[in-house]
């Protein structure tokens, strides 16, 4: 067997990893060259994370890795062993939308919806760290998430509105 055949066999062999996916311990096996985006969509059956440019330029594929937004098209899935991944599928609590999802819907911040999952995860990471961001901070945080429909105004409005709702809920439960 030559070196090329060896390499071909190595690439076809699957790797298996364990990770926390939306709070649940999860095992998954996949071809070792796959990105996190591919594994989420193709091996874990979670198509909510969108497949856009695959070049790190559009933000459609953003998910949270250990609470930090990453472009899943640029992350090798094998690097996620033992780590925590949050995707848009983990945002709602049963039938109850996350305040960010509800606000984007109510305020027209989601139109074709293609950018929405990445936008939601990026905004969640911001509000987890900064419960009361300025509009400028919101714009800065979502600068890598391209939206071709809304002009961004409604998205910033929605993130501000969700931040208010989350702060009110926090105060009510304190």
Rounded Cα–Cα distance for residues 161 and 138 (Å): 12
Which of 97, 111, 139, 160 contacts ligand FES by CB under 6 A? 111
Rounded Cα–Cα distance for residues 61 and 36 (Å): 9
Draw the binding track, 73-92, toward ligand FES (x: CB under 6 A; -: no contact). x-------------------
Rounded Cα–Cα distance for residues 138 and 151 (Å): 14
Which of 14, 135, 148, 167 contacts ligand FES by CB under 6 A? 148
Pick 154 or 173: Cβ nearer ligand FES? 154
- Supply 112's token pair: 């074709």
Pick 21 or 119: Cβ nearer ligand FES? 119
Q: Which of residues 16-75 bind ligand FES (CB under 6 A)?
A: 51-54, 56-61, 71, 73
Phi-psi region of 82 (alpha: psi -120 to 50; beta: other; left: phi over 0): left
Pairing between β-strand 15-21 and β-strand 84-86 as defined by DSSP bridges: parallel
In the complex, least distance from residue 103 CB atom to ligand FES, rounded to whole angstroms: 14
In the complex, least distance from residue 157 CB atom to ligand FES, rounded to whole angstroms: 14
Pick 21 or 120: Cβ nearer ligand FES? 120
Which of 150, 156, 162, 163 contacts ligand FES by CB under 6 A? 150
Q: Which residue has the tokens 């090329």?
A: 4
- DSSP for residue 114: S
15 membership: H or E segment, kind and range:
strand 15-21
Positions that interact with ligand FES (CB under 6 A): 51-54, 56-61, 71, 73, 110-115, 147-150
């Amino acid at each position: 067997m030559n070196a090329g055949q060896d390499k071909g066999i190595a690439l076809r062999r699957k790797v298996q990893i364990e990770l926390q996916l939306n709070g649940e311990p999860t095992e998954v096996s996949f071809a070792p060259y796959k990105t996190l985006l591919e594994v989420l969509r193709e091996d874990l059956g979670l198509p909510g994370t969108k497949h856009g440019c695959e070049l790190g330029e559009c933000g459609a594929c953003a998910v949270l890795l250990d609470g930090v937004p990453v472009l899943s098209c640029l992350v090798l899935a094998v690097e996620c062993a033992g780590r925590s991944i949050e995707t848009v599928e983990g945002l709602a609590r049963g039938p109850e939308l996350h305040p960010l999802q509800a606000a984007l819907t109510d305020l027209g911040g989601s139109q074709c919806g293609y950018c929405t999952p990445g936008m939601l995860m990026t905004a969640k990471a911001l509000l987890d760290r900064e419960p009361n961001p300025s509009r400028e901070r919101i714009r800065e945080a979502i600068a890598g998430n391209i939206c071709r429909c809304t002009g961004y105004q409604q998205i910033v409005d929605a993130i501000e509105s969700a931040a208010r709702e989350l702060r009110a809920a926090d105060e009510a439960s304190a």
